[in-house]
């Protein structure tokens, strides 16, 4: 299999699938290459940023040489980074706290250059053994200010995560969302598929919601013995991936699979010898290759190589310096984090934790707010005042009474509120826990918005207005990342449409909703939902077992609490651009299709909420336009009789209408009062008959005529007058 990799200077090269040993060490570079393949703009930005950073490193080195200074990584300053371990397994208890503590110890020793085994470093490598100043502390508070030990366990039904899909980093795909990446170094511990031990994100390489590293739980030290992981269970996988997180590249420069590599790749560090390929196993003594043929040979003990864990002992001084510079350049907010500061409990502290109700969309103008409160105080909480304010109006106060021990939570339903049509701001806050002044007012107040519009009976939207989403519409964007947006690059009506940028949406499995105004179809006889769609894929649709972007039309009868799927298309069934498109898809005028969904089964189901749902698999863009809900109402006389002739009287043409579609209809004749047949319409002997037929009576004189309808089992006549 040929895989296209991007080296960090921006050049593409082909690399054969390289598997020096099972399990494969690291998926970081293939994931980075795939991200760049989908996002050329990010590639260009990243490459430029990397070039700037590399020049900065060279200038720093030159300055040190000119001034006879030692490498910055050997200074006495210590930079401490809060770290959180997200253990995501079907049984997360199999990873013990003791294992995490041992892993943290190894990580800190490796980054300080104090691994006890480093005494065994050969004399010819010792000048390349750096002493660093980045250390890691287990988080002691969560992003919401709760007490933690920095170890979060999550039960998942996903038995194995695919590195390229990043599912472990998202709750929606069986993993767990990261803690604020600006304050915590996030480490996910899970089962990784395809023999991958770990993967990492480089600084500013894409989605902020995926920053951090993921490692196989079998790479942790001190766990159950697994024969296939015997050389990789010493805790060095996390050290290696953390090197990537702080802008280190593989020591061989990812330039070849061959034992005689072309030696053109670079890890951008001058004191690491050039190396042909990843090291397999554990060398001793001097080992040379085609890129370093003499001297002390290649640095097979470097943490950014693939040697067995027990043989990885070294970050070089310039690697240490590069990581420190990356920390201070790209990840400096980690140093201002209070993540490792212990939580100080006040005596009286009631936290407004989560607004449990209302949701962002309500289908009635009356709702009951609900607030989850937490006793952040050190003593028992027995009462608190909870106030609700809508649009800066008069607060509505509610006194909660109960029993809430320290760090426990409760959800409280509050007095109902009535709102007018539109979007409203709802603020809920707590005060006077146990009648005392709250000693931490920073966590007392939460604000949300709620939208209410009375249900209509139709929708007609081509997104030409200045407001998006249009009034009555809304968007549900769970990961606060890429979602539905209005664009003016393509349309079927006017100049605007809506699209979702799956081409650059790398958070596979994420679902985004574009929801229509609430409708009520009561009293209608039939209803149809139509829209135009344009879509393409990055991958050829003939490829089997691929994960495709999916577009669905959903309907909810309970205001979005649950949905039924009415329409679901993906891959070959969805695309309007037939061939795989490896560039950012913008449809031409001919690359649109009109699709329709029958809503008639829901005409007596009360208020209805329709939604488009996109599930991304990082394929290509989907566009929507000309969204319409139209209804049909049958003449009540026609509904009652099943057969009408209109208009009556008439002047030129008459229509013979049936409701519903007639069965057993053989023919329709037009006669004068003398019984003379003037016109005849024969219907097919098989198939569904039409509901509407027309006679032209213009050639005939004024007077009375007879319409005679013949069924298999009966004959029906109607008289009609021509003026």
Q: Hey, what domains does the chain have and what are their CATH numbers?
A: 2-336 (3.40.390.10), 350-452 (2.60.40.10), 459-632 (2.60.120.200), 636-722 (2.60.40.3080)
Q: Could you count the other beta carbons within 10 Å of the beta carbon of residue 441?
A: 12
Which among 241, 318, 552, 591 is annotated as catalytic? 241
Active site residue 241: yes
d(C-alpha 685, C-alpha 569), whole Å: 36
State the average pLDDT over residues 88-104: 98
> Dihedral of CA 320/321/326/328: which sign?
positive
Which residues fall within 8 angstroms of residue 363, CB to CB, at 6 or more apart?
Answer: 452, 455, 518, 559, 607, 609
**pLDDT over threshold 70, residue 194:** yes
Pair of tokens at residue 414: 């509050």
Q: Which residues pair with 412 in a beta bridge?
A: 371
In this predicted model, which residue has the larger pLDDT, 640 or 88?
88
d(C-alpha 157, C-alpha 657), whole Å: 57
From the list 445, 446, 376, the residue with the least C-alpha distance to 408 is 376
d(C-alpha 420, C-alpha 403), whole Å: 36
In this predicted model, which residue has the larger pLDDT, 92 or 643?
92
**How deeply is 210 buried, as exposed, middle or buried, from its count of CB atoms within 10 A (0-12, 13-18, 19+)?**
buried
How would residue 9 be classed by pLDDT, with cut points 50, 70 and 90? Answer: very low
Q: What percent of the chain has pLDDT over 70?
A: 94
For residue 250, give the 3-state DSSP assignment. coil
How would residue 703 be classed by pLDDT, with cut points 50, 70 and 90? Answer: very high
State the average pLDDT over residues 439-445: 96
pLDDT of residue 675: 92
d(C-alpha 11, C-alpha 254), whole Å: 12
State the average pLDDT over residues 325-348: 97
pLDDT of residue 264: 87
Query: Which element (helix H / strand E) includes 589?
Result: none
Query: Which element (helix H / strand E) includes 242?
Result: helix 236-245
pLDDT of residue 686: 64
pLDDT of residue 611: 98
> Dihedral of CA 477/481/482/486: which sign?
positive
pLDDT of residue 16: 31
Least confident of 96-100, 347-351, 504-508, 597-601: 504-508
What are the start-end ranges of the E strands in 616-675?
622-632, 643-646, 653-658, 665-672
pLDDT of residue 608: 97
**pLDDT over threshold 70, residue 196:** yes
Specify the pTM. 0.80
CB distance 368 to 413 below 8 Å: yes
Span 679-691, pLDDT tens digits: 999 887 666 778 8
From the list 578, 529, 579, 525, the residue with the least C-alpha distance to 553 is 529
User: Average model confidence (pLDDT) for the chain?
Assistant: 92
Query: Which element (helix H / strand E) includes 682?
Result: strand 677-682
State the average pLDDT over residues 295-321: 96
**How deeply is 714 buried, as exposed, middle or buried, from its count of CB atoms within 10 A (0-12, 13-18, 19+)?**
exposed
**pLDDT over threshold 60, residue 141:** yes
Which residues fall within 8 angstroms of residue 699, CB to CB, at 6 or more apart?
Answer: none
């Amino acid at each position: 299999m040929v895989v296209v990799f991007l080296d960090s200077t921006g050049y593409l090269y082909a690399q054969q699938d390289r598997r020096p040993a099972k399990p494969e060490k690291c998926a970081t570079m293939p994931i980075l290459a795939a991200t760049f393949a989908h996002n050329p703009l990010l590639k260009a930005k990243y490459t430029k940023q990397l070039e700037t950073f590399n020049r900065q490193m060279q200038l720093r080195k030159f300055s040190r040489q000119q001034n006879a200074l030692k490498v910055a990584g050997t200074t006495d300053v210590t930079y401490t980074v809060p770290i959180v371990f997200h253990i995501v397994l079907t049984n997360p208890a199999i990873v013990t706290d003791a294992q995490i503590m041992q892993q943290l110890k190894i990580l800190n020793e490796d980054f300080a250059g104090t691994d006890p085994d480093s005494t065994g470093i050969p004399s010819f490598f010792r000048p390349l053994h750096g002493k660093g100043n980045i250390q890691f502390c287990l988080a002691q508070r969560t992003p919401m200010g709760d007490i933690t030990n920095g170890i979060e366990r999550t039960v998942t039904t996903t038995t194995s995560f695919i590195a390229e899909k990043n599912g472990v980093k998202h709750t929606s795909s069986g993993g767990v969302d990261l803690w604020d990446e600006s304050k915590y170094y996030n480490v996910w511990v899970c089962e990784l598929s395809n023999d991958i031990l770990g993967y990492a994100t480089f600084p500013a390489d894409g989605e902020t919601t995926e920053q951090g590293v993921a490692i196989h739980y079998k790479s942790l030290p001190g766990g159950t013995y697994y024969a296939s992981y015997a050389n990789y269970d010493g805790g060095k996988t996390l050290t290696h991936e953390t090197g990537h997180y702080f802008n280190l590249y593989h020591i061989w420069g990812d330039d070849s699979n061959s034992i005689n590599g072309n030696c053109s790749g670079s890890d951008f560090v001058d004191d690491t010898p050039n190396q042909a390929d990843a090291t397999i196993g554990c060398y001793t003594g001097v080992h040379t290759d085609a890129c370093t043929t003499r001297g002390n040979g290649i640095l097979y003990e470097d943490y950014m190589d693939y040697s067995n864990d027990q043989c990885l002992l070294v970050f070089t001084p310039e690697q240490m310096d590069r990581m420190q510079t990356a920390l201070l350049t790209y990840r400096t907010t980690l140093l201002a984090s209070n993540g490792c500061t212990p939580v100080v409990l006040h005596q009286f502290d009631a936290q407004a934790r989560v607004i449990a109700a209302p949701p962002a969309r309500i289908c009635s103008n009356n709702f009951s707010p609900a607030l989850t409160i937490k006793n952040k105080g050190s003593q028992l909480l027995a009462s608190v005042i909870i106030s609700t304010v809508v649009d800066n109006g008069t607060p509505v106060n509610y006194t909660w009474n109960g029993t809430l021990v320290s760090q426990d939570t409760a959800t409280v339903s509050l007095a109902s509120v009535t709102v007018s049509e539109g979007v409203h701001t709802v603020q809920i806050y707590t005060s006077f826990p146990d009648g005392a002044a709250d000693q931490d007012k920073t966590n007392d107040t939460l604000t949300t918005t709620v939208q209410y519009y009375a249900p209509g009976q139709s929708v007609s939207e081509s997104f030409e207005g200045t407001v998006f989403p249009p009034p009555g519409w809304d968007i549900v964007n769970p990961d606060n990342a890429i979602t539905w947006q209005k664009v003016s690059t393509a349309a079927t009506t006017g100049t605007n449409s809506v699209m979702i940028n799956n081409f650059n949406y790398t958070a596979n499995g994420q679902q985004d909703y574009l929801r229509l105004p609430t409708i009520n179809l009561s009293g209608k006889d039939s209803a149809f939902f139509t829209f135009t769609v344009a879509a393409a894929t990055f991958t050829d649709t003939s490829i089997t077992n691929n994960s495709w972007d999916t577009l669905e039309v959903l309907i909810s009868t309970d205001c979005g609490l649950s949905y039924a799927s009415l329409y679901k298309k993906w891959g070959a069934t969805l695309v309007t651009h037939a061939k795989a498109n490896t560039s950012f898809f913008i449809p031409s005028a001919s690359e649109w299709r009109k699709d329709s969904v029958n809503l008639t089964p829901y005409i007596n189901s009360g208020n209805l909420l329709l939604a488009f749902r996109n599930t991304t698999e990082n394929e290509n863009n989907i566009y929507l336009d000309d969204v319409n809900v139209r209804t049909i109402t049958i003449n009540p006389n026609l509904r009652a009789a099943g057969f009408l002739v209109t208009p009556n009287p008439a002047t030129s043409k008459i229509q013979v209408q049936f409701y519903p579609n007639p069965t057993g209809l053989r023919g329709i004749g037009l006669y004068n009062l003398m019984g003379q047949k003037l016109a005849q319409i024969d219907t097919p002997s098989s198939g569904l008959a039409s509901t509407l037929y027309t006679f032209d009576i213009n050639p005939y004189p004024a007077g009375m005529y007879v319409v005679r309808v013949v069924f298999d089992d009966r004959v029906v006549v109607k008289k009609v007058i021509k003026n």
